[in-house]
Amino acid sequence: MSAISIIGTGNMARTIGARAVAGGNTVEIMGRDRAKAADVAQALGGGTTTGEWGTAPAGDIVIMALLYDGVVPVVARYGDALAGKVVIDISNPFNATFDGLDHREETSIAQRAATVAPQSTSLVKAFNTVFRQVLEKGRPDIFLAGDDAQAKKDVAVFVESLGLRPLDVGGLKMAHWLEGAGVVTVGLANHGVGNLDFSLSITELPASATT
Amino acid sequence: MSAISIIGTGNMARTIGARAVAGGNTVEIMGRDRAKAADVAQALGGGTTTGEWGTAPAGDIVIMALLYDGVVPVVARYGDALAGKVVIDISNPFNATFDGLDHREETSIAQRAATVAPQSTSLVKAFNTVFRQVLEKGRPDIFLAGDDAQAKKDVAVFVESLGLRPLDVGGLKMAHWLEGAGVVTVGLANHGVGNLDFSLSITELPASATT
Protein backbone atom coordinates (compact mmCIF):
# COMPACT_ATOMS: atom_id res chain seq x y z
CA MET A 1 0.00 0.00 0.00
CA SER A 2 1.28 3.46 -0.88
CA ALA A 3 0.30 6.93 0.27
CA ILE A 4 -0.54 8.92 -2.84
CA SER A 5 -1.29 12.59 -3.38
CA ILE A 6 -2.81 13.62 -6.67
CA ILE A 7 -2.42 17.24 -7.72
CA GLY A 8 -5.25 18.02 -10.12
CA THR A 9 -8.97 17.39 -10.28
CA GLY A 10 -9.52 16.47 -13.93
CA ASN A 11 -10.24 13.20 -15.69
CA MET A 12 -6.80 11.68 -15.15
CA ALA A 13 -6.93 12.59 -11.44
CA ARG A 14 -10.26 10.80 -11.15
CA THR A 15 -9.18 7.77 -13.15
CA ILE A 16 -5.84 7.25 -11.40
CA GLY A 17 -7.50 8.07 -8.08
CA ALA A 18 -10.21 5.44 -8.61
CA ARG A 19 -7.66 2.75 -9.45
CA ALA A 20 -5.47 3.83 -6.53
CA VAL A 21 -8.38 3.51 -4.08
CA ALA A 22 -9.35 0.16 -5.55
CA GLY A 23 -5.73 -0.95 -5.11
CA GLY A 24 -5.87 -0.23 -1.38
CA ASN A 25 -3.76 2.93 -1.43
CA THR A 26 -4.28 6.03 0.71
CA VAL A 27 -5.26 8.89 -1.58
CA GLU A 28 -5.22 12.67 -1.15
CA ILE A 29 -6.54 15.10 -3.78
CA MET A 30 -5.12 18.61 -4.07
CA GLY A 31 -6.79 21.16 -6.31
CA ARG A 32 -6.51 24.91 -6.68
CA ASP A 33 -10.26 24.84 -6.16
CA ARG A 34 -10.66 23.11 -2.80
CA ALA A 35 -14.39 22.49 -3.36
CA LYS A 36 -13.66 20.71 -6.63
CA ALA A 37 -11.00 18.63 -4.87
CA ALA A 38 -13.57 17.73 -2.21
CA ASP A 39 -16.01 16.63 -4.91
CA VAL A 40 -13.38 14.35 -6.46
CA ALA A 41 -12.40 12.99 -3.03
CA GLN A 42 -16.02 12.22 -2.24
CA ALA A 43 -16.53 10.51 -5.61
CA LEU A 44 -13.43 8.38 -5.04
CA GLY A 45 -14.46 7.34 -1.52
CA GLY A 46 -12.24 4.93 0.41
CA GLY A 47 -11.26 7.63 2.89
CA THR A 48 -9.82 9.93 0.21
CA THR A 49 -8.80 13.24 1.75
CA THR A 50 -8.08 16.69 0.36
CA GLY A 51 -5.07 18.86 1.00
CA GLU A 52 -4.47 22.57 0.72
CA TRP A 53 -2.96 23.67 -2.58
CA GLY A 54 0.74 24.42 -2.32
CA THR A 55 1.29 22.80 1.09
CA ALA A 56 3.19 19.58 1.81
CA PRO A 57 1.33 16.63 0.26
CA ALA A 58 0.36 13.82 2.63
CA GLY A 59 1.47 11.18 0.14
CA ASP A 60 5.00 9.89 -0.37
CA ILE A 61 4.22 9.69 -4.10
CA VAL A 62 2.80 12.84 -5.69
CA ILE A 63 1.12 12.51 -9.07
CA MET A 64 0.95 15.64 -11.20
CA ALA A 65 -2.40 15.09 -12.95
CA LEU A 66 -2.20 18.37 -14.84
CA LEU A 67 -2.01 19.54 -18.43
CA TYR A 68 1.60 19.50 -19.49
CA ASP A 69 2.13 23.25 -19.35
CA GLY A 70 1.01 23.30 -15.74
CA VAL A 71 3.49 20.75 -14.43
CA VAL A 72 6.72 22.78 -14.21
CA PRO A 73 5.01 25.88 -12.72
CA VAL A 74 3.16 23.80 -10.13
CA VAL A 75 6.30 21.88 -9.13
CA ALA A 76 8.02 25.26 -8.75
CA ARG A 77 5.05 26.64 -6.78
CA TYR A 78 5.09 23.69 -4.36
CA GLY A 79 8.87 23.99 -4.04
CA ASP A 80 10.17 22.72 -0.71
CA ALA A 81 6.79 21.17 0.04
CA LEU A 82 7.91 18.39 -2.36
CA ALA A 83 11.21 17.71 -0.52
CA GLY A 84 11.81 13.97 -0.18
CA LYS A 85 8.79 13.09 -2.35
CA VAL A 86 8.60 10.96 -5.46
CA VAL A 87 6.86 13.07 -8.09
CA ILE A 88 5.25 11.36 -11.09
CA ASP A 89 4.86 13.34 -14.32
CA ILE A 90 2.20 11.76 -16.55
CA SER A 91 1.97 14.57 -19.09
CA ASN A 92 2.18 14.63 -22.89
CA PRO A 93 3.56 17.88 -24.30
CA PHE A 94 2.13 17.34 -27.77
CA ASN A 95 2.56 19.97 -30.46
CA ALA A 96 -0.50 21.49 -32.14
CA THR A 97 -0.61 18.80 -34.86
CA PHE A 98 -0.08 15.87 -32.45
CA ASP A 99 2.87 14.54 -34.46
CA GLY A 100 5.65 15.85 -32.27
CA LEU A 101 6.46 17.51 -28.97
CA ASP A 102 5.95 21.11 -27.98
CA HIS A 103 9.62 21.34 -27.03
CA ARG A 104 12.01 20.74 -29.91
CA GLU A 105 15.06 20.13 -27.75
CA GLU A 106 15.77 16.64 -26.47
CA THR A 107 14.13 17.20 -23.09
CA SER A 108 10.87 16.34 -21.34
CA ILE A 109 8.44 17.83 -18.88
CA ALA A 110 9.80 15.43 -16.25
CA GLN A 111 13.38 16.61 -16.79
CA ARG A 112 12.31 20.24 -16.76
CA ALA A 113 10.30 19.68 -13.57
CA ALA A 114 13.37 18.10 -11.95
CA THR A 115 15.31 21.31 -12.50
CA VAL A 116 12.80 23.35 -10.45
CA ALA A 117 12.14 20.72 -7.74
CA PRO A 118 14.11 20.38 -4.48
CA GLN A 119 17.23 18.21 -4.81
CA SER A 120 15.69 15.56 -2.57
CA THR A 121 12.67 15.19 -4.90
CA SER A 122 12.80 12.29 -7.38
CA LEU A 123 11.03 12.74 -10.70
CA VAL A 124 9.60 9.71 -12.47
CA LYS A 125 7.87 9.77 -15.85
CA ALA A 126 5.04 7.25 -16.02
CA PHE A 127 1.50 6.66 -17.32
CA ASN A 128 1.90 9.05 -20.28
CA THR A 129 1.48 6.41 -23.00
CA VAL A 130 -1.93 5.36 -21.69
CA PHE A 131 -5.26 6.79 -22.82
CA ARG A 132 -7.58 7.56 -19.92
CA GLN A 133 -10.25 5.10 -21.00
CA VAL A 134 -7.71 2.28 -21.15
CA LEU A 135 -6.44 3.13 -17.69
CA GLU A 136 -10.04 3.03 -16.54
CA LYS A 137 -11.04 -0.26 -18.11
CA GLY A 138 -7.92 -2.13 -19.19
CA ARG A 139 -4.64 -3.53 -17.96
CA PRO A 140 -2.10 -1.38 -19.81
CA ASP A 141 1.66 -1.70 -19.35
CA ILE A 142 3.10 1.32 -17.51
CA PHE A 143 6.49 2.51 -18.75
CA LEU A 144 8.72 4.29 -16.20
CA ALA A 145 11.76 6.52 -16.55
CA GLY A 146 13.75 8.03 -13.70
CA ASP A 147 17.23 8.44 -12.26
CA ASP A 148 16.47 7.27 -8.71
CA ALA A 149 16.26 3.48 -8.43
CA GLN A 150 14.40 3.57 -5.10
CA ALA A 151 11.86 6.06 -6.46
CA LYS A 152 11.23 3.79 -9.45
CA LYS A 153 10.80 0.84 -7.08
CA ASP A 154 8.25 2.83 -5.08
CA VAL A 155 6.36 3.72 -8.25
CA ALA A 156 6.56 0.11 -9.42
CA VAL A 157 4.95 -1.06 -6.16
CA PHE A 158 2.19 1.49 -6.66
CA VAL A 159 1.68 0.46 -10.31
CA GLU A 160 1.45 -3.20 -9.24
CA SER A 161 -1.17 -2.27 -6.64
CA LEU A 162 -3.29 -1.08 -9.58
CA GLY A 163 -3.01 -4.53 -11.15
CA LEU A 164 -0.71 -3.16 -13.85
CA ARG A 165 2.79 -4.10 -15.02
CA PRO A 166 5.55 -1.49 -14.45
CA LEU A 167 8.32 -1.51 -17.07
CA ASP A 168 11.52 0.43 -16.39
CA VAL A 169 12.98 1.99 -19.54
CA GLY A 170 15.98 3.67 -17.88
CA GLY A 171 17.07 7.05 -16.61
CA LEU A 172 15.11 10.31 -16.55
CA LYS A 173 16.65 11.21 -19.91
CA MET A 174 14.44 8.47 -21.35
CA ALA A 175 11.40 10.55 -20.39
CA HIS A 176 11.93 12.35 -23.69
CA TRP A 177 11.51 9.09 -25.58
CA LEU A 178 8.52 8.09 -23.47
CA GLU A 179 6.98 11.41 -24.51
CA GLY A 180 7.84 10.30 -28.06
CA ALA A 181 6.10 6.99 -27.39
CA GLY A 182 3.08 9.12 -26.47
CA VAL A 183 3.33 10.73 -29.90
CA VAL A 184 3.48 7.26 -31.51
CA THR A 185 0.43 6.20 -29.49
CA VAL A 186 -1.59 9.16 -30.75
CA GLY A 187 -0.30 8.48 -34.27
CA LEU A 188 -1.65 4.94 -34.03
CA ALA A 189 -4.99 6.25 -32.76
CA ASN A 190 -5.21 8.59 -35.74
CA HIS A 191 -3.93 6.15 -38.37
CA GLY A 192 -3.26 2.44 -37.93
CA VAL A 193 -5.75 1.77 -35.14
CA GLY A 194 -8.40 4.46 -35.53
CA ASN A 195 -9.66 4.50 -31.95
CA LEU A 196 -8.40 4.91 -28.39
CA ASP A 197 -9.17 1.38 -27.19
CA PHE A 198 -5.58 0.14 -27.10
CA SER A 199 -2.28 0.71 -25.38
CA LEU A 200 1.38 0.45 -26.20
CA SER A 201 2.71 -2.64 -24.49
CA ILE A 202 5.32 -5.30 -24.75
CA THR A 203 4.70 -8.81 -25.98
CA GLU A 204 7.06 -11.55 -24.87
CA LEU A 205 8.15 -14.33 -27.18
CA PRO A 206 6.44 -17.59 -26.25
CA ALA A 207 8.82 -19.57 -24.01
CA SER A 208 9.08 -22.24 -26.70
CA ALA A 209 10.61 -19.65 -29.06
CA THR A 210 13.21 -18.23 -26.67
CA THR A 211 16.82 -19.32 -26.72
CA MET B 1 2.89 -11.69 -53.12
CA SER B 2 5.42 -8.89 -53.41
CA ALA B 3 8.71 -8.56 -55.26
CA ILE B 4 11.34 -7.61 -52.68
CA SER B 5 14.95 -6.56 -53.05
CA ILE B 6 17.09 -6.57 -49.95
CA ILE B 7 20.21 -4.43 -49.98
CA GLY B 8 22.63 -5.91 -47.47
CA THR B 9 23.88 -9.36 -46.54
CA GLY B 10 23.93 -9.25 -42.74
CA ASN B 11 21.71 -10.80 -40.06
CA MET B 12 18.69 -8.60 -40.73
CA ALA B 13 18.93 -9.32 -44.49
CA ARG B 14 18.89 -13.05 -43.74
CA THR B 15 16.10 -12.85 -41.20
CA ILE B 16 13.79 -10.65 -43.28
CA GLY B 17 14.73 -12.63 -46.38
CA ALA B 18 13.82 -15.93 -44.74
CA ARG B 19 10.43 -14.64 -43.62
CA ALA B 20 9.84 -13.08 -47.05
CA VAL B 21 10.56 -16.36 -48.82
CA ALA B 22 8.35 -18.24 -46.35
CA GLY B 23 5.61 -15.70 -47.08
CA GLY B 24 5.71 -16.49 -50.81
CA ASN B 25 7.44 -13.32 -51.94
CA THR B 26 10.04 -13.03 -54.70
CA VAL B 27 13.35 -12.05 -53.12
CA GLU B 28 16.51 -10.53 -54.53
CA ILE B 29 19.68 -9.96 -52.48
CA MET B 30 22.09 -7.16 -53.39
CA GLY B 31 25.45 -6.91 -51.67
CA ARG B 32 28.63 -4.98 -52.33
CA ASP B 33 30.24 -8.41 -52.23
CA ARG B 34 28.39 -10.40 -54.90
CA ALA B 35 29.72 -13.74 -53.59
CA LYS B 36 28.35 -12.97 -50.12
CA ALA B 37 25.01 -12.02 -51.68
CA ALA B 38 25.03 -15.34 -53.56
CA ASP B 39 25.65 -17.21 -50.29
CA VAL B 40 22.69 -15.48 -48.65
CA ALA B 41 20.50 -16.12 -51.69
CA GLN B 42 21.40 -19.80 -51.64
CA ALA B 43 20.73 -20.06 -47.92
CA LEU B 44 17.31 -18.42 -48.39
CA GLY B 45 16.33 -20.67 -51.31
CA GLY B 46 12.89 -20.32 -52.85
CA GLY B 47 14.35 -18.98 -56.07
CA THR B 48 16.09 -16.03 -54.39
CA THR B 49 18.25 -14.17 -56.90
CA THR B 50 21.11 -11.72 -56.61
CA GLY B 51 21.46 -8.35 -58.30
CA GLU B 52 24.43 -6.19 -59.10
CA TRP B 53 25.21 -3.55 -56.48
CA GLY B 54 24.05 -0.09 -57.54
CA THR B 55 21.84 -1.21 -60.43
CA ALA B 56 18.04 -1.10 -60.57
CA PRO B 57 16.62 -3.55 -58.00
CA ALA B 58 14.26 -6.21 -59.36
CA GLY B 59 11.85 -5.71 -56.48
CA ASP B 60 9.14 -3.07 -56.18
CA ILE B 61 9.95 -2.84 -52.48
CA VAL B 62 13.60 -2.30 -51.58
CA ILE B 63 14.67 -3.01 -48.00
CA MET B 64 17.82 -1.27 -46.79
CA ALA B 65 19.20 -3.92 -44.44
CA LEU B 66 22.26 -1.86 -43.54
CA LEU B 67 23.77 -0.26 -40.47
CA TYR B 68 22.18 3.13 -40.04
CA ASP B 69 25.16 5.15 -41.25
CA GLY B 70 25.16 3.24 -44.52
CA VAL B 71 21.55 3.98 -45.49
CA VAL B 72 21.77 7.56 -46.75
CA PRO B 73 25.02 7.00 -48.73
CA VAL B 74 23.66 3.83 -50.33
CA VAL B 75 20.35 5.47 -51.28
CA ALA B 76 22.39 8.29 -52.83
CA ARG B 77 24.67 5.79 -54.58
CA TYR B 78 21.70 3.93 -56.10
CA GLY B 79 20.12 7.23 -57.10
CA ASP B 80 17.85 6.93 -60.14
CA ALA B 81 17.99 3.14 -59.89
CA LEU B 82 15.46 3.59 -57.05
CA ALA B 83 13.00 5.65 -59.14
CA GLY B 84 9.43 4.49 -58.58
CA LYS B 85 10.44 2.10 -55.79
CA VAL B 86 9.20 1.84 -52.25
CA VAL B 87 12.27 1.95 -50.00
CA ILE B 88 12.06 0.63 -46.45
CA ASP B 89 14.47 1.98 -43.84
CA ILE B 90 14.73 -0.40 -40.88
CA SER B 91 17.69 1.27 -39.16
CA ASN B 92 18.24 2.48 -35.61
CA PRO B 93 20.63 5.43 -35.36
CA PHE B 94 21.40 4.89 -31.67
CA ASN B 95 23.91 7.09 -29.89
CA ALA B 96 26.94 5.53 -28.19
CA THR B 97 25.10 5.03 -24.90
CA PHE B 98 21.93 3.59 -26.47
CA ASP B 99 19.70 6.11 -24.70
CA GLY B 100 19.17 8.50 -27.57
CA LEU B 101 19.69 9.03 -31.28
CA ASP B 102 22.91 9.83 -33.10
CA HIS B 103 21.21 12.86 -34.66
CA ARG B 104 20.03 15.44 -32.16
CA GLU B 105 17.73 17.27 -34.55
CA GLU B 106 14.13 16.07 -34.95
CA THR B 107 14.85 13.99 -38.04
CA SER B 108 15.36 10.33 -38.93
CA ILE B 109 17.41 8.19 -41.27
CA ALA B 110 14.27 7.66 -43.36
CA GLN B 111 13.68 11.40 -43.74
CA ARG B 112 17.33 12.00 -44.56
CA ALA B 113 17.27 9.18 -47.12
CA ALA B 114 14.19 10.73 -48.74
CA THR B 115 16.14 13.94 -49.37
CA VAL B 116 18.75 12.09 -51.47
CA ALA B 117 16.36 9.67 -53.24
CA PRO B 118 14.60 10.36 -56.56
CA GLN B 119 11.29 12.22 -56.20
CA SER B 120 9.36 9.15 -57.35
CA THR B 121 10.86 7.03 -54.55
CA SER B 122 8.70 6.57 -51.46
CA LEU B 123 10.45 6.11 -48.14
CA VAL B 124 8.78 4.06 -45.41
CA LYS B 125 10.20 3.49 -41.93
CA ALA B 126 9.40 0.01 -40.63
CA PHE B 127 10.75 -2.96 -38.66
CA ASN B 128 13.11 -0.82 -36.55
CA THR B 129 11.46 -1.58 -33.20
CA VAL B 130 11.96 -5.33 -33.62
CA PHE B 131 14.95 -7.30 -32.38
CA ARG B 132 16.25 -9.74 -34.98
CA GLN B 133 15.58 -12.81 -32.88
CA VAL B 134 11.96 -11.78 -32.37
CA LEU B 135 11.52 -11.24 -36.10
CA GLU B 136 12.95 -14.71 -36.59
CA LYS B 137 10.80 -16.56 -34.08
CA GLY B 138 7.90 -14.36 -33.05
CA ARG B 139 4.92 -12.42 -34.36
CA PRO B 140 5.90 -8.81 -33.59
CA ASP B 141 3.77 -5.83 -34.55
CA ILE B 142 5.40 -3.80 -37.33
CA PHE B 143 5.04 -0.02 -37.01
CA LEU B 144 5.12 1.98 -40.28
CA ALA B 145 5.66 5.67 -41.03
CA GLY B 146 5.57 7.26 -44.47
CA ASP B 147 4.05 10.07 -46.50
CA ASP B 148 2.81 7.97 -49.46
CA ALA B 149 -0.41 6.11 -48.68
CA GLN B 150 0.01 3.65 -51.57
CA ALA B 151 3.59 2.86 -50.52
CA LYS B 152 2.41 2.17 -46.98
CA LYS B 153 -0.33 -0.09 -48.38
CA ASP B 154 2.28 -1.99 -50.39
CA VAL B 155 4.45 -2.41 -47.31
CA ALA B 156 1.41 -3.46 -45.25
CA VAL B 157 0.63 -6.21 -47.80
CA PHE B 158 4.23 -7.40 -47.56
CA VAL B 159 4.17 -7.31 -43.73
CA GLU B 160 0.94 -9.31 -43.72
CA SER B 161 2.56 -11.89 -46.04
CA LEU B 162 5.07 -12.44 -43.21
CA GLY B 163 2.21 -13.23 -40.84
CA LEU B 164 2.73 -9.96 -39.00
CA ARG B 165 0.46 -7.01 -38.21
CA PRO B 166 1.32 -3.67 -39.87
CA LEU B 167 0.43 -0.58 -37.84
CA ASP B 168 0.48 2.83 -39.52
CA VAL B 169 1.65 5.60 -37.18
CA GLY B 170 1.42 8.47 -39.69
CA GLY B 171 3.63 10.51 -41.99
CA LEU B 172 7.37 10.15 -42.57
CA LYS B 173 7.96 12.78 -39.88
CA MET B 174 6.86 10.09 -37.43
CA ALA B 175 9.95 8.08 -38.41
CA HIS B 176 11.78 10.18 -35.83
CA TRP B 177 9.45 8.94 -33.10
CA LEU B 178 9.68 5.36 -34.34
CA GLU B 179 13.44 5.70 -33.99
CA GLY B 180 12.66 6.94 -30.47
CA ALA B 181 10.50 3.84 -29.94
CA GLY B 182 13.63 1.88 -30.89
CA VAL B 183 15.45 3.70 -28.09
CA VAL B 184 12.64 2.78 -25.68
CA THR B 185 12.83 -0.85 -26.81
CA VAL B 186 16.56 -1.01 -26.08
CA GLY B 187 15.94 0.77 -22.76
CA LEU B 188 13.46 -1.96 -21.84
CA ALA B 189 15.97 -4.65 -22.85
CA ASN B 190 18.59 -3.06 -20.58
CA HIS B 191 16.29 -2.29 -17.64
CA GLY B 192 12.68 -3.40 -17.20
CA VAL B 193 12.83 -6.58 -19.27
CA GLY B 194 16.48 -7.61 -19.20
CA ASN B 195 16.54 -9.66 -22.38
CA LEU B 196 15.71 -9.33 -26.09
CA ASP B 197 12.84 -11.82 -26.18
CA PHE B 198 10.04 -9.26 -26.50
CA SER B 199 8.70 -6.62 -28.83
CA LEU B 200 6.89 -3.33 -28.56
CA SER B 201 3.30 -3.95 -29.57
CA ILE B 202 -0.20 -2.74 -29.04
CA THR B 203 -2.74 -4.43 -26.85
CA GLU B 204 -6.40 -3.83 -27.54
CA LEU B 205 -8.96 -3.46 -24.79
CA PRO B 206 -11.12 -6.58 -24.54
CA ALA B 207 -14.32 -5.97 -26.54
CA SER B 208 -16.34 -6.16 -23.32
CA ALA B 209 -14.46 -3.10 -22.02
CA THR B 210 -14.85 -0.86 -25.10
CA THR B 211 -17.51 1.78 -25.32
Question: Domain ranges in chain A?
Answer: 3-209
Measured in angstroms, the CA of A147 and the nearest CA of chain B are apart by: 12
For residue B194, the distance in angstroms to the closest alpha carbon of chain A comes to 10
pLDDT above 80: residue B111: yes
DSSP structure class, residue A58: S
What's the CATH class of domain B3-209? alpha beta
pLDDT at B30 over 90: yes
Mean pLDDT of all residues belonging to chain A: 96
Contacts of B199 in chain A (CB under 8 A): 202-203, 205
B93 vs B102: CA distance, rounded Å:
5
Q: For chain B, what's the residue count? A: 211
Is B19:B77 a contact under the CB 8 Å cutoff?
Answer: no
Mean of pLDDT values over B36-52 = 97
pLDDT of residue B190 exceeding 70: yes
From chain A, pick out residues whose CB is under 8 angstroms from the CB of B203. 138, 140-141, 198-199, 201, 203
C-alpha span between B112 and B129 (Å, rounded)? 19
Q: Do A141 and B203 touch (CB under 8 A)?
A: yes
Per-residue pLDDT reduced to its tens digit, A66-118? 999 999 999 999 999 999 999 999 999 999 999 999 998 899 999 999 999 99
Neighbours of A84 (CB within 10 A): 11
User: Which of B100, B200, B205 lies nearest to residue A197, judging by beta carbons?
Assistant: B205
Work out the pLDDT band at B104, boundaries 50, 70, 90: confident
**B206 to chain A, minimum CA–CA distance in Å?**
8
Nearest CA in chain B to A152: B192
Compute the average pLDDT of residues B42-65.
98
Q: Which is nearest to B18 in space by CA: B60, B56, B51, B65?
A: B65
Tell me the sheet residues that pair with B63.
B6, B88
pLDDT at position A211 is 55
Q: Which of A99, A138, A178 sits opposite B209 (nearest CB)?
A: A138
Task: Let me know: does B129 contact B200? Beta carbons within 8 Å.
Answer: yes
Best CA proximity match to A52, nearest among A21, A86, A17, A7: A7
Instruction: Report the percent of chain B where pLDDT is more than 90.
Output: 96
Predicted pLDDT at B206 = 85
pLDDT at B36: 97
Q: Is the pLDDT of residue B211 over 60?
A: no
Q: B93 contacts in A (CB within 8 Å)?
A: none
Q: Which of A181, A187, A209 sits opposite B184 (nearest CB)?
A: A181
Confidence grade of residue B210 (pLDDT, cut at 50, 70, 90): low
Beta-bridged to residue B28, according to DSSP, are B5, B49
Report chain B's mean pLDDT, rounded to a whole number: 96
Q: Give dist(CA B59, CA B48) in Å, integer.
A: 11
CA of A124, closest CA in chain B: separation in Å? 14
Percentage of chain A exceeding pLDDT 70: 99
Tens digit of each residue's pLDDT (9 = 90 or more) over B144-188: 999 999 999 999 999 999 999 999 999 999 999 999 999 999 999
DSSP B147-188: S-HHHHHHHHHHHHHTT--EEEEESGGGHHHHHHHHHHHHHH
- Answer yes or no: do A170 and B177 touch at CB < 8 A: no
- Best mutation target among A97, A111, A152, A174 (most B Cβ atoms within 10 Å) is A174
- Contacts A191 to B, Cβ<8 Å: 168-170
